[in-house]
């Protein structure tokens, strides 16, 4: 298998997929058209990630605060998500990807919750990529929920807490800490995403809007990460840190 993976790839990449609305508005289109275009980006990025050495990819698809959006936009998003999960389940299973969902399931439309449960089951044995989709997700709520469950345990460690945060029980396999967090769309904030898991993540804020984000952009981000010196509170070699990747031309600018 051909691989572009650098020597020191991020094992866990998390992405705040932001900028769909602005992408659509700039084209005189309704905001859901941006979400539709964003779905195509998800396909590209999921396909490209394993070849770059990424083992876990967590995508922020809908925050618990996104319920504040107009009903029509939320409905369009839920429909797109359901279609995406249904359409991609077979392909993900064939590609050896395992899909799991992070976040609250009880407020999702029934059809979407069912599609996700079916996809989780159908892809349960995938080992090439762990694709985690954060839906109706709030990091602060996830921490509260894990804390409540932790209260029943005799002993609590960081590792046990991380397992609870990953959605499993205290004995489940936790997702590793986030190595690289990418936010598209230019905003430099976390918007309640993976607050615990990003404790030492390298943060990359890219101006490109999510529908324009390409596999080459992901590859640039991974190469940028690989050249960084992570110190985890220590001293390190003090080598100069690489500059963020320059924006490559948008491949399909309309
Ligand atoms: C991100 O794009 C997708 C979701 C939050 C679901 P936005 O819809 O936030 O796009 P902008 O930030 O308004 O451009
Ligand atoms: C964060 O984007 C949530 C997702 C990308 C799903 P938002 O567009 O909701 O974040 P804010 O409101 O700009 O902080
Ligand atoms: Mg946004």
Q: pLDDT tens digit string along 111-126?
A: 999 999 999 999 999 9
Calculate ∠ Cα 74-78-83, nearest 5°: 150
Calculate ∠ Cα 249-130-194, nearest 5°: 75
Per-residue pLDDT of 42-79, as tens digits, reads 999 999 999 999 999 999 999 999 999 999 999 999 99
**Closest ligand 2 atom to Cα of 65:** 9
For residue 216, pLDDT beyond 80 = yes
Ligand 2 site, residue 66, Cβ cutoff 6 A: yes
pTM: 0.95
pLDDT of residue 100: 95
**Closest ligand 2 atom to Cα of 62:** 6
Per-residue pLDDT of 134-184, as tens digits, reads 999 999 999 999 999 999 999 999 999 999 998 876 767 788 999 999 999
Report the share of the chain in percent with pLDDT over 70: 96
CA of 245 to the centre of ligand 3 (A): 22
pLDDT of residue 254: 47
Say whether 23 counts as a known binding-site residue.
yes
Report the share of the chain in percent with pLDDT over 90: 87
For residue 252, pLDDT beyond 90 = no
For residue 250, pLDDT beyond 90 = no
Mean pLDDT of 9-30: 98
The CA R_g of the chain, rounded to the nearest whole Å, is 18
pLDDT of residue 6: 81
For residue 98, pLDDT beyond 70 = yes
To the question of domain 12-227 being in CATH 3.40.50.1700, the answer is: no
Sequence-distant (≥ 6) Cβ neighbours of residue 128 within 8 angstroms: 50, 95, 96, 97
Q: Higher confidence at residue 238 or residue 140? A: 140
For residue 31, pLDDT beyond 70 = yes
Say whether 67 counts as a known binding-site residue.
yes
Domain boundaries, the chain: 12-227
Residue nearest to atom 6 of ligand 1 (CA): 62
Angular region, 248: left φ>0, alpha ψ -120 to 50, beta rest:
beta
pLDDT of residue 117: 97
φ and ψ at 61, to 5 degrees? -100, -30
At 3, is the pLDDT very low, low, confident or very high (cuts 50, 70, 90)? low
* Mean of per-residue pLDDT scores for the chain: 94
């Amino acid at each position: 298998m051909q691989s572009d993976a650098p020597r020191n790839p991020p094992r866990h990449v998390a992405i705040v997929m932001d900028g769909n609305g602005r992408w659509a508005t700039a084209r005189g289109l309704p905001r859901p058209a941006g979400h539709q275009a964003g779905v195509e980006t998800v396909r590209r990025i999921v396909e490209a990630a394993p070849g770059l050495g990424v083992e876990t990819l967590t995508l922020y698809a809908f925050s618990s605060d996104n319920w504040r959006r107009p009903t029509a936009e939320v409905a369009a998003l839920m429909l797109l998500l359901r279609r995406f999960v249904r359409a991609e389940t077979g392909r993900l299973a064939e590609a050896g990807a395992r899909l799991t969902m992070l976040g609250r399931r009880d407020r999702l439309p029934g059809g979407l919750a069912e599609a996700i449960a079916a996809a989780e089951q159908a892809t349960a044995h995938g080992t090439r990529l762990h694709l985690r989709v954060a839906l109706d997700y709030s990091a602060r709520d996830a921490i509260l929920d894990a804390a409540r469950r932790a209260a029943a345990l005799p002993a609590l460690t960081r590792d046990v807490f991380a397992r609870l945060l990953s959605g499993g029980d205290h004995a489940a396999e936790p997702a590793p800490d986030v190595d690289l967090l990418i936010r598209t769309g230019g905003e430099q904030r976390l918007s309640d995403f993976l607050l615990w898991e990003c404790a030492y993540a390298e943060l990359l804020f890219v101006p490109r809007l999510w529908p324009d984000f390409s596999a080459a952009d992901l590859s640039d981000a991974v190469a940028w990460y690989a050249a960084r010196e992570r110190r985890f509170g220590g001293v390190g070699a003090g080598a100069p840190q690489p500059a963020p990747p320059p924006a490559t031309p948008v491949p399909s600018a309309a």
